[in-house]
Amino acid sequence: MSIFDNLWLGFEVALTGINLLYCLIGVTLGTFIGVLPGLGPLVTISMLLPITFNLSPTAGLIMLAGIYYGASYGGSTTAILVNLPGESSSVVTCLDGHAMARQGRAGPALAIAALGSFFAGTVATAILALFAPPLAGWALAFGSPEYFSLMLVGLFTAAALAHGSMLKSLAMVVLGLLLGSVGTDVNTGVYRLTFGVPELVDGLSFVVIAMGMFGIAEIVANLEKRESREVFTSAVGTLMPTLRDLRDSWAPILRGTAIGSFMGILPGAGTTISSFLSYIAEKRIARDPGRFGKGAIEGVAGPESANNAAAQTSFIPTLTLGIPGSGTMALMLGALTIYGIQPGPRVMTSHPDLFWGLVVSMWIGNFILVVLNLPLVGIWVQMLKTPYRMLYPSIVVLCCVGAYTLSNTTTDVILMAVFGVLGYLLVKLECEPAPLLLGFVLGPMMEENLRRSMLLSRGDPSIFVTQPISLALLVSAAVLLALLIVPSIRNKRDEAISEGES
Amino acid sequence: MTITNFRVAGRGLALAAATLVLAAGTAIAAFPEKPIRLIVPFAPGGGTDAVARIVGEAMSASLGQQIIVENKPGAAGNIALETVAKAAPDGYTLLLGFSTSLTVNPSLYKSNPVDVQKDLAPVALLVSAQYVLVVNPKVNVSTVAELVAKAKAEPGKLNYASGGKGTPLHLGAEMLKSQAKIDMVQIAYRGGGPASKSVMANETQVLFGSFPSTLPKIQDGSLKALAVTGPKRSPSLPDLPTMEESGYPGFIVTSWYGFLAPAGTPKPVIDKLGAAAAAALAKEDVKKKIEATGQDIQSGDAAMLASLIKQDIARWRKVLNDAGIQPE
Amino acid sequence: MKLNNHRDVCAGLLFVAIGTVAVVVAGAYSFGSTMHMGPGYFPVLLGGLLILLGAAIVARALWTGELAPLPSMSLRPLLLVTLSVLVFAFLLERFGLVPAIAATVLVSCFGGHEFRWREVVPLAAFLALASVLIFHVGLGLPFLLWSW
C-alpha cells in the first residue's frame, strides 16, 4: 500500500461522524484540562478510560489522543496568562509569555502559541506517518550512556536560561538536582531525603513545585506591590499578532518543530527538554538576546512549537515499539491492550485503519484546536481584566484542588505551600526558578543513567565516549559550555577595559 | 424473685437479643447503603487500575451502590495499605491489594506500617498474572538450560533487567540465580516498560517480563521467550514450557490482586462483597477486558486469599534470604 | 570587604544551609565509590556543591560590594496566602471540599489589599460551586463534599 492509499484510508476513518465527534470532544476536554493548573491529561485519561470501553477502539484512541495533545495547547494558556506552568513543557512559555501578557500583549502571545503549535503538530504528524518505523529504531539506539550525555547537554542549557548572576543560576540548578534526588533510589530501593514522609517516597512532583514556586510565590509577590493594584495593564493591545510578530516567529517555529519532532521520539526525554532546548537556541540565535525574559515573542513561538511536536512524535515509540515515553503514554498503551491491540511494528499492518485513522485524526485535531483556541484568546484576555483581588483567590483555589487531585493526598497541597514560601524567598533574593525546575526534571534521569552506565560497563567510564551517539552529545555539551563561558568572560573583560578607561 | 419473674426476664432478654440480631442482620442485609471506596495503590493507568475499574463497575451494578476508585499511589503500596487498615471496618472501604506490596514488602523492609495478616481481612482473590523469561535474540539460546549453560560459561557477563527492588522481575531473576547457581548482574529500571526496552536494545540480555510488556515483542521476534513462570502453560504461548517443566520444581512467580478490608469487618459483609466480586468476574465482558490486559481471572474467596497470602509471605522470605537480600 | 550586598549574602547563606542539610541527611546513606555509586553519592555531592556555590556567592557579594540591600518583604500577603493553602489541606479531608474552598478564599482575601464581604462571599460561593461542578461532577474525581 502506498502512502497515499494509507492516508486515504486514514481520512475515510477519521472523517466518520463518530470519530470526528470524539476527536472534538477529546481536544476540547484536553484544552480545558490543560488550562486548569495541576490537573493534567494523566488523571483525565484514566478517569475516562472506562467510558471508552463502550466505544470502538479507534474512536476511543482518537479521543484519548485528542485529550493528550489538546492539553499542551491549554497548558500554554495558563502559562502565558497567570505564569503557571501546567506541565513541565510549559515552564519556558511562562518566561516570555507571561511577560508579554503583563505588557498587554497576551493576545499575540496566545495566538502565536496556537499557530506555532498547529504548524508543529501538522509537521510532526506527517513525520509520524512517513517515518514511524525507522524512527523507532532511533529510539532504541539511545541507551543509558546516550541518555546521560543528553541530560548533560540539557543541564548546560539550564544555566544559560537565566539572565542574572551565573553563580546564582548554577546554584538553582544544583538545588533542582538535589530536589530531584528525593525519593526511592532505583538501584538499591533506599528512601532518600524523605524525612519519614511516605508521600515523598516516590519523589516530589514537578507540578507541586511548579505551582508553588510559580503560582503561589507569584501571587504573594504581586500582592506586595501596594502601588499598582492591577497586575496587567488595562490597555490591552490587539488580540492578533502583528505582521512584525509573524515575521519574527516563523523561523523559531520551524526550528522548534525540528527540535521537538526529534526529541519526542526519545522515551522519557521528550517534551520538557525540547521546549528548553528551543528556548536556548532562540536566545543564542537572536540578535539581541537581552530581550528574552522580557517579552520576546521568539521565546514563545519556538518552545510552544517544540513541545507540541514532541507530544505528537512521542506516539512513535508507544505505537511502534510498545514503549511508553511517559506516564500518560503508558496509559495509552494500557488502553490499547485493553482494546486487544498489541502495539509493535506490526500494528501498522495489523490494524491499518486504527493507525492511519489516528494519524489523520491528529491532524484534524490540531486543526480543530487552532480554530477553537484562536477565538478563545479574546475570552481569556477579557478574563485578565477581572480585578486582581478576585482573580488571585481563584488561582489559589485552583492550585489547591489541582495539587490534591494529583494523588488524592493533602501532603501535596502542603508541599505546594512550602515551595510557595521557598519560591517567594528565592525570587526576592533574585534567584530564578526556571533553572531549578529544569535541574529537577533532568537530575534524576542523569543520575540514574550515569549509575546504570557504570554498572553496564562494570565501572569503566570510557563507555561514554566509546558509544558514538554519546560521544557526539558530549562534544556538543562541551561546545555549549564554551559558548556560555566565553561571552561572559569577554563581557567582564570589556567591562574591565571600559572601567579602566573612564 | 420468683421463677415466673425469671422466666419473664429470660423471655425479655431473648426478645431483646433477637431484635438486636435482626437489626444487625438487616443492617448487613441492607449493606451497602452508600458508595464504597476502593483504594488502589497505583497511579491511574496500568493493569492494576484498569482491573479495579473494570471489576468495580461490574460490582456496582449488582450491589446497587457505586464503587468509587480512589488512587493512593506511593511507597510501594504502603500508603494505600495504611489508608485501608486505619479505616472503619464497616465494609465501605476496600483495598485492591497487590501481591508484591502485601507479601514481599514485609521481608524487604524492616519496619512496615501495617501487619498484613493482622490489620487486614481478605475478601476475595481476583486475578493473577504470570511472567515470561525472555532474552535478547543475540544471546543465541532457546531453552532455559542453554541460558544457564551460557551464564556458567561466562560468569558475571550477562545483565538482567529488573523493574526495581522487590518487583516480580527482580524476584524471578534472583530465584533463577540462586537455584541455577549462576551469576547475572542486576540493572534496575523504573518499571517493566523501560526494562523491556533495554532488553530489546541489548543493553541487558535477560528479563523476567510481564505478558503485556513482552508478548508483542515475542510475537514479532524482537525478544526470544524461554519459559513462563506460572504453574501452567499460557494459552497465548502454548509451546513455551513452564519453569517447572524446564527443570526447576517449585519455581513459580506470579503476581495477583485481591480485595481486602480492614480487620474486624463483619463476616456477612465480607461474604457479600466476595460474592459480588465473584459474580462480576464470571461475566463475559469483564473476563474479556481483563484477559486483554494479559492477566488471568483467578476468582477465589476470602479463605483462599488468606492462605495464599500466608504462603507467599513465607515463600518470598525464603527467596530473598537465599539471594542474600536483607531487609532494610 | 564591604557589606553592601545584603541580598546576595542572604542568598548564598540560604544555599549553604540547604546544602548542609543535604550532606548531613544523605551522609547516612551508603556512599559507594565512583565506579559503583551508592544512593548517598549524588545527594552528598550535590549538597557539597551547593555549599561551595553558596560560599562563592557570599564571597563575591563581600568582594564587589555591589549595592543590593535586603529586599523589603511584607509579611501579611506571604503569611495569609500560605495559610490559605494550608487551611485547604487541613479542612479538605475533614470537612469536605465546599468548606475548604470557602475557608481558603476567605483567608487568602485577607491577604489582599481590600476586603469587602459583599465580594468575598459570592466569590467563595462561586468558586466552591464551580469546583464541585468541574472536578466532582464533570470529571468524576472523588471528593468529600460536605460533612461536619
Dump the DSSP string for C36-83.
SB-TTHHHHHHHHHHHHHHHHHHHHHHHH----PPPP--HHHHHHHHH
- Asked, for residue B240, whether it belongs to a domain, the answer is no
Q: Residues of C with CB below 8 A from A35's CB?
A: none
B322 in A contact zone (CB under 8 Å): no
Residue A152 has pLDDT above 50, yes or no: yes
In angstroms, rounded to a whole number, what is the distance separating the alpha carbons of residues A205 and A411? 11
**CB-CB neighbors (< 8 A) of C142 in chain B:** 37, 68-70
Which of B60, B67, B69, B79 to probe by mutation at the A interface, max A CB count within 10 Å? B79
Tell me the chain A residues in contact with residue C15 when contact means C-beta distances shorter than 8 Å. Answer: 171, 175
The domain locations on chain A are 3-229+238-501
For residue B228, what is the enclosing H or E element? strand B224-228
A192:C86 CB<8 A: no
Task: Name the interface residues of B facing C (CB cutoff 8 Å).
Answer: 37, 68-70
pLDDT at B19 over 80: no
Nearest CA in chain C to A389: C112
Contact B71 A456 (CB under 8 A): no
Residue B245 forms part of a structural domain: no
**Residue B228 forms beta bridges with which residues?**
B132, B242
Q: Are residues B197 and B280 in the same domain?
A: no
Among A342-346, B26-30, B78-82, C109-113, the least confident range: B26-30
Look at residue A401 and tell me whether its pLDDT is greater than 50. Answer: yes
Q: Are residues A167 and C60, on separate chains, in Cβ contact within 8 Å?
A: yes
C-alpha cell at B102: 502485601
Q: Do A50 and B54 touch (CB under 8 A)?
A: yes
Chain-chain contact of C84 with A410 (C-beta, under 8 angstroms): no
Counting as contact any 3 or more CB pairs under 8 A, the partners of A are B, C
- Is the model more confident about C110 or about A46? C110
Distances (CA, A) of A458 to A56, A316, B185, B203: 49, 32, 10, 13
**Per the CB < 8 Å rule, is B166 touching A189?**
yes
Query: Which pLDDT score, from 0 to 100, does residue A224 have?
Result: 79
pLDDT of residue A500: 47
Assess B42–A contact: CB distance below 8 Å, yes or no: no
Kindly state whether C121 is in contact with chain A, defined as any CB-CB distance less than 8 angstroms. no
Encode B276-298: b = buried (16+ Cβ within 10 Å), e = exposed. Answer: bbbbbbeeeebeebbbbbbbbbb
Residue A340: is its pLDDT beyond 80?
Answer: no
Three cell numbers written together for B25: 442482620
Q: Do A198 and B78 touch (CB under 8 A)?
A: yes
Measured in angstroms, the CA of B6 and the nearest CA of chain C are apart by 46
Count how many domains chain B has: 2
Separation CA A236–CA C25 (nearest Å) = 51
Min Cα–Cα distance to chain B from C29, Å: 12
Residue B9: per-residue pLDDT: 59
Q: How far is B228 from chain A (nearest CA, A)?
A: 19
Whether B207 and B134 have beta carbons less than 8 Å apart is answered as: yes
The domain spanning residue B105 has which CATH number?
Answer: 3.40.190.150
Domain boundary among B211, B228, B245: B228
| Predicted pLDDT of residue C58 | 87
A339-343, A355-359, A423-427: segment of lowest average pLDDT: A339-343
Cross-strand pairs, B136: none
Measure CB to CB from residue A407 to each of B50, B72, B203 and give the nearest one: B72
pTM over 0.90? The answer is no
Neighbouring subunits of B (3+ Cβ pairs under 8 A): A, C
Are A165 and C57 in contact (CB < 8 Å)? yes
The answer to whether residue B165 neighbours chain A at the CB level (below 8 Å) is: yes
Residue to substitute from A167, A179, A424, interface C, most C β-carbons within 10 A: A167
Interface check for B44 against chain A (CB to CB < 8 A): the answer is: yes
Q: How confident is residue A302, by pLDDT bands cut at 50, 70 and 90? A: very high
| pLDDT of amino acid A490 | 57
pLDDT range class, residue A184, cuts 50, 70, 90: confident
Task: Kindly determine whether residue B197 and residue A45, on different chains, have CB atoms separated by under 8 Å.
Answer: no
Would you list which residues of chain C are within 8 Å, Cβ to Cβ, of chain B? 142
Q: Is position B236 within any domain? A: no
Rounded Cα distance between C104 and C83, Å, is 8
A324/B78 Cβ within 8 A: no
Both B74 and B115 in a single domain? yes
Q: Is the domain of B97 the same as that of B142?
A: no
Confidence band, pLDDT 50/70/90 cuts, at residue B134:
very high
Say whether both B116 and B59 belong to one domain.
yes
pLDDT tens, residue by residue, A60-71: 888 888 888 888
What is the CB neighbour count within 10 angstroms for residue B326?
10
Residue B142: CATH number of its domain:
3.40.190.10
Across the interface, whether the CB atoms of C101 and A39 are under 8 A apart is answered no
**The one-letter amino acid at A308:** N
- The residues spanned by each domain of chain C are 6-64, 75-138
Q: Is the pLDDT at A78 greater than 80, yes or no?
A: yes
At residue A420, the pLDDT reads: 92
Residues of chain C with pLDDT under 70: 1-4, 34-35, 65, 139-140, 147-148
**pLDDT, tens only, A231-243:** 565 545 567 778 8
| pLDDT, tens digit (0-9, with 9 covering 90-100), for A426-483 | 888 888 887 888 888 888 888 888 888 888 888 777 888 888 888 888 888 787 777 7
Return the residue matching grid coordinates 506517518. Answer: A129
Asked if residues B270 and B280 have their Cβ atoms less than 8 Å apart, the reply is no
Q: Which of A493-497, B234-238, B307-311 has the lowest mean pLDDT?
A: A493-497
Q: Say if B175 falls within a structural domain.
A: yes
Of B45, B79, B164, the CB nearest to A334: B45
Check residue B87 and report its DSSP letter. S
Please state, in angstroms and as integers, the Cα–Cα distance from residue C117 to each residue in A379, B259, C105, C106, C109, following that order. Answer: 27, 49, 11, 9, 10
Cβ separation of B44 and A407 shorter than 8 Å?
Answer: no
Query: What are φ and ψ of residue B188, in 5° steps?
Result: -90, 140
Restricting to A residues 331-360, those with a Cβ less than 8 Å away from any Cβ of B are 331, 333-334, 337-340, 342-346
B251 within domain boundaries: no
Residue B92, C-alpha cell as written in the block: 465501605
Q: Which of A297-311, A475-489, B51-65, C124-138 has the lowest mean pLDDT?
A: A475-489
Of B208, B228, B248, which residue is a domain's last? B228
Whole-Å CA distances, A460 to A11, A174, A446, A470 = 52, 26, 17, 15
pLDDT at A416 (0 to 100)? 92
- Cβ separation C50–A175 shorter than 8 A: yes
B71/chain C closest Cα distance in angstroms: 10
* Judgement on whether residues B144 and B112 belong to the same structural domain of the protein: no
Q: How far apart (Å, rounded) are the C-alpha atoms in residues A327 and A329?
A: 5
Q: Which three cell numbers stand for residue B258?
A: 485481591
CA–CA dist B73, B70 (Å, integer)? 9
Angle at B205 between CA A141 and CA A330, to 5 degrees: 60
Domain that includes residue B163, residue range? 130-228
Count CA atoms within 13 Å of residue B239 on its CB side: 6
